[in-house]
Amino acid sequence: MFELAIKKLKEAQKIVFVTGAGISQESGIPTFRGKDGLWRNYDAMKLATIDAFYENPKLVWEWYNERRKNIFSAKPNLGHKAIAELEKFVKVIILTQNIDGLHQRAGSTKVLELHGSIIEIKCTVCKFKNKILTEFTNIPPLCKCGNILRPNVVWFGEPLPQDTWQEAMIHSSNCDIMIIAGTSLVVSPANTLPLYAKQNNAFLIELNPEKTMMSSDMDLSVRSTSVIALPQLLSIFK
């Protein structure tokens, strides 16, 4: 199977990556699930909702301020860098569930952020939207129009940006290889992307230390972390 995967990789014209929290966790960014998913005795998954935000915007913003501080201090790891360097050899598209911008900081040029960006802030009422790279001292921060600002991220229960999602489906449907790295594929609708690729007879490769609910659908499952597996994948092209 490894020989077939190497052959497919070398012949590929377009590789699509679907990345999740696992690749960023290796840069020191905590995940929502598991032991990292609790923050000051609050369930992080319950904080990331529009209801929680309107019920207690100060609390939610304290959490996001802390997350932003952590993300700003984090650096792209060898996995991020390997994906970026792969662009020298083949067309690469990244469909990421992460909101941290580490793929772009590593040098990747085509990144679709399915769940938005924690770096970008938008108003809850007016059309203000901008990237802000500093902490907020006044919590919750207010827009010039007087209404509350929020991170431009997709919270649980909210739809994905439709233009981004449509483009993600198109890329998934016309790639030669899809590499799923650092995601357990439990969050919908991002977990349907491999199905679009499979329908187009793309070769599916999963990089994850643990078995996932879609491992049986993969052409190759590599039980390793992105930091280890992605540089090895890059070496195939070199």
Structure tokens of 150? Answer: 């929020």
> Annotated catalytic residue: which of 80, 103, 115, 171?
115
**Rounded Cα distance, 214 and 230, in Å:** 20
Backbone angles phi, psi at 53, to 5 degrees: -65, -45
**Rounded Cα distance, 15 and 30, in Å:** 27
**Length in residues, the chain:** 238
Alpha-carbon dihedral of residues 194, 199, 205, 208, nearest 10 degrees? 30
Alpha-carbon dihedral of residues 63, 67, 69, 71, nearest 10 degrees? -170
Cis status, amide bond into 151, omega within 30 of 0: no
For the question of residue 115 being annotated catalytic, the response is yes
**Rounded Cα distance, 107 and 10, in Å:** 22
Task: Compute how many other C-beta atoms are within 10 angstroms of the C-beta atom of residue 174.
Answer: 15
Cis status, amide bond into 209, omega within 30 of 0: no
Which of 160, 164, 199, 193 is CA-nearest to residue 179?
193
Residues with active-site annotation: 115
